[in-house]
Amino acid sequence: MRTGRPGRDDRAAPADRPGRPPRSANPARNGPSVRAERPQREERPARVERPRRGAGRLAPAPAAVKATVPVAPGEGERIAKLLARAGIASRREIERMVAEGRIAIGDKIVDTPATILKSLQGVTVDGKPVAPPEHARLFRFHKPTGLLTAERDPKGRATIYDRLPHGLPRVVPVGRLDLNTEGLLLLTTDGGLKRQLELPSTGVERTYRARVFGEVTQTMLDDLIEGIEIEGVRYGSIDANLERRTGRNGWVEMKLREGKNREVRRVLEHLGLQVSRLIRTSYGPFRLGDLPVGAVDEVLQHDLVNFRKTLK
C-alpha cells in the first residue's frame, strides 16, 4: 500500500484548517470584510533632476540647476540667442554646449538654451567669462564649388571654414550655398543679423546666374513671376531673364526673395533644363563683383548700418 502525501480528496477542507474561520460559498453571506487600515505613506521628497547625459564632460559640473534670472514679461532674450549674437557659436552648437554642461551663470550650470537673460553678465563658457557683444560685422566671401556651407561634416568633406583666412573673427554664414554652387556668401559675427537677412518676411533679394542646357524661351521664364508649385512645394515670385542663348546652351538670371532649399535648381529642372553651373551674384545690395574666388573682404560699417535701416 502506497503511503506518503495525502491525495487531493484526503486533504482537509478549508473550513477544517486550523486558524481560519469557515467560509460560506456565497461571499454575500459572510458579511462585510474588515480590513486593517493601512498607515498613510509618507510624502516622498521632490525629485531632483539629474544632469543630462554627457553633462560635465568638458568641465566639472555640479548637478544641473536651472539657472534662470527673474525677468519681467517682454524683457530679456534666450541665452542661446544672446550667445549666438556675441559670436560664441551658432544656436544649434550652443544647444549642444548646454547639454554638455559647458555654459554656466555664476556657479550654476545652465540646463536649457531657453533660459531668459537681460545680458550675458556672469555667463561663462568652459569657465571663461563671455565678453559683451561687439557691433555686427558683415563679410563677403566668394565661395568656390566643392565646399559645404557648414561648420563640420561627418563624412570629412571640406567646408567653407577650411578656406577662410586666419585672423577672421568667428563668423556664421547667411543662408547656404550647395556643394556645387559658387558665388557670394555673406558671413556675419551677429546671429541676429544672420536671421534677419534669412527670413522670407524680410524680403531680401538674391540674384543667381545659371548656365543651362535645353530648350528655354523668355516666355517660359516669364511665367515664373506668378510663382510655381513643384511636388507640393510652393515657390514665390521669381524674376527670370534669358541673358543669352547659343543653340541649346544658355545663361539665365534669376531674382528671388525666399531662398528655399535648392530653389533655383529645382525650378529650372522642372522646366526641363539641366543646370551645369550656378553662381550667386548678389544678396541684397551686396554684390560679388570682381571679388576673386576664395577671397574675403569686409562690408563697410557705414554701408551695413544704412542697409539695416531698410530692413522690415
Q: Is 178 a catalytic residue?
A: yes
**Cα atoms in the Cβ-side hemisphere of radius 13 Å centred on 28:** 0
Average pLDDT of the residues in 141-156: 92
Give, in order, the Cα–Cα distances in Å from 140 to each of 76, 104, 298, 300: 31, 34, 6, 11
Residue 92 burial (CB count, 10 A): 12
Please tell me if the domain spanning 50-133 has the same topology as the one spanning 205-283.
Answer: no
C-alpha cell at 293: 574666388
**Residue 4 pLDDT > 90:** no
CA distance 237 to 224: 6
Flag whether pLDDT at 41 surpasses 80.
no
Could you tell me the pLDDT band of residue 283, with boundaries at 50, 70 and 90? very high
Q: Could you write out the DSSP letters of every residue in 190-229?
A: -HHHHHHHH-GGG---EEEEEEEES---HHHHHGGGG-EE
Residue type, 197: L
What's the pLDDT at 32? Answer: 47
* pLDDT tens, residue by residue, 118-131: 888 899 999 999 87
| CATH domain 205-283 topology | Alpha-Beta Plaits (3.30.70)
Query: For residue 73, is pLDDT > 50?
Result: no
CATH architecture designation of domain 138-200+287-310: 2-Layer Sandwich (3.30)
pLDDT at 250: 95
228: cell is 510655381
Please tell me the number of Cα atoms within 13 Å of 252 on its side-chain side.
33
Of 24-28, 172-176, 299-303, which range is least confident? 24-28
Lowest mean pLDDT, pick from 29-38, 57-66, 158-167: 57-66
User: How deeply is 291 buried, as exposed, middle or buried, from its count of CB atoms within 10 A (0-12, 13-18, 19+)?
Assistant: middle
Average pLDDT taken over every residue of the chain: 80
Catalytic residue among 178, 190, 239, 297: 178
Q: What is the pLDDT of residue 90?
A: 77
Domain coordinates of the chain in residue numbers?
50-133, 138-200+287-310, 205-283
Structure confidence at residue 199 (pLDDT): 86
In angstroms, the CA 277 to CA 267 distance is 14
Rounded distance, CA 215 to CA 250, Å? 9
Confidence (pLDDT) at 42: 52
Q: Give pLDDT tens digits for 179-229.
A: 999 999 999 998 888 988 998 888 899 999 999 999 999 999 999 999 999
Superfamily name and number for 50-133: RNA-binding S4 domain (3.10.290.10)
Residue 9: is its pLDDT beyond 70?
no
The residue ranking higher by pLDDT, 235 or 37, is: 235
192/86 Cα distance (integer angstroms): 10
Give mean pLDDT, residues 9-33: 48
